[in-house]
Amino acid sequence: MIKASDGRFTGIFKCGNRTLEFGKKTLIMGILNLTPDSFSDGGRYTDVDAAVDQCAKMISEGADCIDIGAESTGPRAVPISVEEELERLMPSLTAIRNRFDIPLSVDTYKSETAAQAISTGADIINDVNGFLADPDMAKVVADSGAGAILMFNCRTRGDDFPAFEPISRRCVRELTESIEIAKKAGMSDNMIMTDPGIGFGTTRAQDAELTCSLLSLGMQGKHPVLYAASRKRYARIFAGGDQATEAQLDYATAGLSFTAASVGASIVRVHNVAASRLALNTFDESFYAFANI
pLDDT recorded at residue 14: 98
CA atoms of 118 and 249, how far apart (whole Å): 32
pLDDT in tens, 71-123: 988 777 789 999 999 999 999 999 999 999 999 999 999 999 999 999 999 99
pLDDT recorded at residue 94: 98
Q: Is 55 buried (19+), middle (13-18) or exposed (0-12) by CB count in 10 A?
A: buried
- Give mean pLDDT in consecutive 10-residue pieces for the chain, a chain of 293 residues: 66 97 97 80 83 98 98 84 98 98 98 99 98 98 99 78 81 96 98 97 95 90 96 94 94 97 96 98 87 60
For the domain spanning 11-291, the CATH number is 3.20.20.20
**What does residue 177 show for φ and ψ, rounded to 5 degrees?**
-65, -45
pLDDT recorded at residue 40: 62
Rg (CA), the chain: 17
CA atoms of 186 and 140, how far apart (whole Å): 10
Cα 61–chain centre separation: 18
Q: Is 260 buried (19+), middle (13-18) or exposed (0-12) by CB count in 10 A?
A: buried
Coil/strand/helix, residue 56: helix
Sequence spans of domains, the chain: 11-291
pLDDT recorded at residue 289: 74
Residues 6+ apart with CB under 8 A from 58: 30, 32, 66, 273
pLDDT recorded at residue 75: 73
